[in-house]
Amino acid sequence: MKLLVLDSSGLVASVALIEDDQLIAEYTTGNKLTHSQTLLPMLDEVIKRTSFEIEDIDAVAVAKGPGSFTGLRIGAATAKGLGLALDKPIIPVPTVDGLAYQLFGTSMIICPMMDARRKQVYTGFYRFEGSEMKVLKEQCAQSVEDTLIQLREYNEPVVFLGDGVPVYKEEILEKMGDLAIFAPAHANRQRAAAVGTLAQVYFAQGIYESADEFVPEYLRKSQAEREREERLHGQSSITAREWHVRKALPEDLPMIGDKLEGPAVDFSHGDVNAHQPIPGSLETFVKHYCVDGTYQAYTEYRGKGAIREYLAEKLAEYSGAPVDPKTEIILTPGTQGALFLAMGSLVGRGDKVAIVEPDYFDNRKLVEFFEGEMVPIHMNWKDAAPHTSGIDLKELEEAVQDGYEAYVFFVVQMKGVRYFTPKQTDSQRICRCSCRSSGNRGSGDRKGLFCNGGFHCNCGRSSGSTYQSTAL
């Protein structure tokens, strides 16, 4: 039997080719790139490196869930597409079962843990009896506390594995003590080889379905879906707008002044008709919509070249650093578009992101969207003496020493208004701090640019921190 196997249910992406009892090839990576970027190139590479003809496969095996909602959808879409194109069946394998199968042959209880956020995990309990894996508890979503209470009742050693283990390791050790055993690196994350091997067992038992029938198994609904259902059935007293406001505000953020009566208001930007167009804007558009004698509905994706060249010249003059208009400038229709692009290129699931408090409303929302972990960096502003306001640099240094991976630094300046502008000495200190945290020394070509301070750092960062600012 020839199997093509996919697993994109968690942080790890994995592709395998299996023929009968032989693993032909396996490509597994956990480099924090999105699965939409990695899965198909990995599949293509595996096919190229082997004599495997994809048309000759008998079935497509895929981890069906639970796991990351986005990751499952990518894996399911890829499996369904291949199954439909090749007219092959899909063998859906429960993600947690596939994780447990990596510890084939152990007599101890196996407990995979996938981080489901909010102190919950996707988990199940398993044990091997000879070559057969017995399911003691079917995969489910439940709290870490309940999981550990249930395991304690067995009063025997338990092997833990999965991306939830590092998150809750202290709790596991506290509750399980010497009964807790942690799987080593080669067996503690998803692998397509294990999914494929278990899929062969299921196929022999007649457990498979058509590509058209296959759907992923999420085990629980997304937060947005749950909140919507609660509102529709009258189980929630808050509106969608109020919920987003509450989610965006940390519990420990100090309240200044008396509480205002009335419904919560979301002050972040949205698609609203808040302002009239400036006088003459429509006439200007109509006059210039024909550019150089050619009708142009859309510009280049980066924005009009002439504008980028003009900006590059001005920025280079201002900063003293060369700016390439073709590769280093992107024009967006608004600030949020620029912030979204910058965050999307820097932040992945689990990345620690230092967020200034207080700061622009949507910074926090963008970090949450990209599933980053927020590290608050407080700003001295209310009672600061003259010329002493600004972010707590000592707090920033401690944050990066504790495992900071990306620092998103936003400076908002408007005519007549200055929210925060770091002094050049502070800018230099911030840059040096981040460079030290990422282990970089010396100089190189890459530059971190603070447009407001006119300072750039030739630190030669090859990884870690990236600085980006927008000057308007």
Q: What is the pLDDT of residues 42-87, one digit of tens each?
A: 999 999 999 888 899 999 999 999 998 888 989 999 999 999 999 9
Other Cβ atoms closer than 10 A to 96:
31
User: Tell me, what's the pLDDT at 84?
Assistant: 94
The mean per-residue pLDDT over the stretch 224-251 comes to: 53
- For residue 263, whether the previous peptide bond is cis, meaning omega lies within 30 degrees of 0, is no
Strand partners, 61: 5, 91
Q: pLDDT-based confidence at 310, cuts 50/70/90? A: very high
φ, ψ of residue 83 in degrees (nearest 5): -60, -45
Nearest to 34 by CA among 334, 280, 371, 329: 371
CA torsion through residues 261, 262, 264, 267, sign? negative
Predicted model pTM: 0.52
More confident residue, 17 or 338: 17
User: Tell me, what's the pLDDT at 155?
Assistant: 95
pLDDT of residue 353 exceeding 50: yes
Nearest to 447 by CA among 470, 427, 424, 467: 467
Q: pLDDT-based confidence at 452, cuts 50/70/90? A: very low
φ, ψ of residue 78 in degrees (nearest 5): -65, -45
The mean per-residue pLDDT over the stretch 243-270 comes to: 58
User: Tell me, what's the pLDDT at 370?
Assistant: 86
The mean per-residue pLDDT over the stretch 205-225 comes to: 84
Pairing between strand 406-407 and 413-414? unpaired
pLDDT of residue 454 exceeding 60: no
SS percent in the chain: helix, strand, coil, step 5:
35, 20, 45
d(CA 251, CA 318): 41
Other Cβ atoms closer than 10 A to 274:
7
User: Tell me, what's the pLDDT at 81?
Assistant: 93
Mean pLDDT value across the chain: 77
User: Tell me, what's the pLDDT at 357?
Assistant: 78
Please report the domains of the chain, with CATH numbers, ordered by start residue. Answer: 2-97+191-204 (3.30.420.40), 108-175 (3.30.420.200), 220-247 (no CATH), 332-457 (3.40.640.10)
pLDDT of residue 239 exceeding 70: no
d(CA 201, CA 97): 12
pLDDT of residue 253 exceeding 60: no
The mean per-residue pLDDT over the stretch 20-48 comes to: 87
Task: Pick the most confident of 9-13, 73-77, 145-149, 417-421.
Answer: 145-149
Q: pLDDT-based confidence at 228, cuts 50/70/90? A: low
Percentage above 70 pLDDT, the chain? 69
Name the CA radius of gyration of the chain, rounded: 26
CA torsion through residues 58, 77, 217, 371, sign? positive
Q: pLDDT-based confidence at 363, cuts 50/70/90? A: confident
The residues near 369 (Cβ < 8 Å, ≥ 6 apart) are 343
φ, ψ of residue 456 in degrees (nearest 5): -135, 150
Cα angle 303-306-312, degrees, rounded to a multiple of 5: 85
Token couple for 4: 């093509």
Q: How many residues does the chain have?
A: 472
Token couple for 34: 């999105």
> Which three-class secondary structure state does DSSP give residue 140?
strand
Pairing between strand 120-129 and 132-143? antiparallel
Task: Pick the most confident of 42-56, 186-200, 240-254.
Answer: 186-200
Alpha carbon of residue 31 to chain centroid: 12
